[in-house]
Structure 1
Amino acid sequence: MTHHPDHEVELFKDEGAYEVYVDLPGYEREDVDLRWHDGRLHVTAEHRDDDGETRVYNRHVSVPRSVDAESITADYDDGVLNVRLPIAADESRPGTLIEVRESAPSE
């Protein structure tokens, strides 16, 4: 059964992976160009109808942890794109951790 998102794009964390659901009604699987680049999921879809009108969809989704790019999977069913982004084995968040200190009381 296909999960139909309440919003255009939904992101969930589930058992060691991120699940991204993208609502793309009116697009065919062949219209979708899906790429992982620079730590972000890039979703582009382009559909030309019988009247020559073209609809274009373009979104980028970032996640807070490193992803195992070689294990990403995607399915398209009933107008919904479902992308599974497995979290990399190290599971550390990229970047440098910055300590947040408590402010000194004002006088």
Structure 2
Amino acid sequence: MANDIMDRNNLMRNWFNNDSWMNGVPSIFDNNFPEDSNLKTDIKETDKDYEVHVDMPAFDKKNIDINYENDVLTVSGHRDSFNNHNDKNGDMIMSERSSGRFMRQYHLPAVDQENIQASYDKGVLQITLPKLEDKKDSGHHVDID
């Protein structure tokens, strides 16, 4: 199913980008944000928990916020400006690194929010969200009067 959606997306992208009447017009499929501004993420689900890995290079741990509310995990943070690498003439050939505020949200239902754990190492934020244990319905017998 996901591959079908991706194939359709690629067909639409090719149609819009290759049609002559669209020349010079930015595509709706273009990413208008710096590549790292959308916080690249991997999410793994097991029977017991969710594991979320978020690329957050050059973030200071104290500038990262993690919240879980109403089945939504929110990861946000800010990254300060990078040092100016211009020479004395101000000659910058290319600058792609960005600074500022970043945020992503993930819908992850039925999490034991008291036991969420997070760590940050080498630019990767790892969050483990244990799932709530299934409450087994033991049943209840009702007598008829």
- Tell me the TM-score normalized by structure 2: 0.52
> Whole-Å Cα distance in 2 between the matches of residues 62 and 50 of structure 1?
32
Is the counterpart of residue 61 in structure 1 residue 106 in structure 2? yes
AA of the residue aligned to 2:42: E
Partner of 2:64: 32
- Tell me the CA shift for residue 14 of structure 1: 2.9
Q: 5+ residue gaps in structure 1? A: 1-6, 92-107
Is the counterpart of residue 48 in structure 1 residue 93 in structure 2? no
DSSP-derived class of the 1:70 partner? helix
Q: 5+ residue gaps in structure 2? A: 1-38, 84-97, 136-145
RMSD: 2.2
- Whose RCO is larger (CA < 8 A, sep 6+)? 1
DSSP-derived class of the 1:42 partner? strand
> Whole-Å Cα distance in 1 between the matches of residues 57 and 116 of structure 2?
23
> Whole-Å Cα distance in 1 between the matches of residues 106 and 66 of structure 2?
11
Deviation track 1:8-36 (CA, whole Å, cap 9, x = no partner) reads 01100135000000000111111101111
DSSP-derived class of the 2:114 partner? helix
Is the counterpart of residue 14 in structure 1 residue 58 in structure 2? no
Q: Which runs of 4+ in 1 moved over 6 A?
A: none
Q: How many residues align?
A: 84
- Answer with 1 or 2: which has the greater Rg: 2
